[in-house]
C-alpha cells in the first residue's frame, strides 16, 4: 500500500484576501495555509477522498469515504523550498509522503 497525492495540498494553493485571490509562491511556503483541502489517498489501486482541515497547524480529517482514515491526524515537516514531509497517523493507518 502506498500514499500518493497528499502533496497536492501544496500545489497551486491560493489564499483569500479581501475577496481577492492572491497567488502564493509555493517555493516560499514554510507552512500549509489554514483551510479545507480535498485530497486523494491512493491505496492498493483504489482512490479515496479525504476532506482535511488545517487549523492553527493542526490537520484532521473532516470527512472521508475510507473508514480507516476517518480518525487520522496529519503533521507536516518543512523540508525547505516548498517541500513538506506529510505524516498521516490514525487507528488503522500510518503513512508518510513527501
Compute the average pLDDT of residues 80-98: 82
Compute the average pLDDT of residues 87-91: 86
pLDDT attached to residue 15: 42
Q: Note whether residue 25 is domain-resident.
A: yes
Q: Note whether residue 41 is domain-resident.
A: yes
Neighbours of 58 (CB within 10 A): 11
DSSP secondary structure code for residue 24 in this structure: -
- Check residues 8 and 43 and name the one with the higher pLDDT: 43
Q: Note whether residue 28 is domain-resident.
A: yes
State percent of the chain over pLDDT 90: 5
Count of structural domains within the chain: 1
Neighbours of 1 (CB within 10 A): 10
Q: Note whether residue 80 is domain-resident.
A: yes
Q: Note whether residue 74 is domain-resident.
A: yes
Q: Note whether residue 1 is domain-resident.
A: no
* Host domain of residue 17: 6-97
Q: Is this structure's pTM higher than 0.85?
A: no
Amino acid at each position: 500500500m502506498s500514499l500518493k497525492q497528499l502533496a497536492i495540498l501544496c500545489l497551486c494553493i491560493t489564499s483569500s484576501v479581501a475577496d481577492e485571490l492572491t497567488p502564493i509562491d509555493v517555493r516560499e511556503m514554510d507552512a500549509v495555509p489554514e483551510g479545507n483541502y480535498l485530497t486523494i489517498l491512493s491505496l492498493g489501486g483504489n482512490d479515496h477522498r479525504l476532506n482535511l482541515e488545517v487549523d492553527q497547524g493542526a490537520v484532521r480529517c473532516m470527512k472521508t469515504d475510507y473508514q480507516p482514515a476517518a480518525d487520522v491526524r496529519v503533521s507536516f515537516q518543512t523540508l525547505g523550498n516548498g517541500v513538506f514531509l506529510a505524516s498521516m497517523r490514525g487507528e488503522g493507518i500510518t503513512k508518510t509522503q513527501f
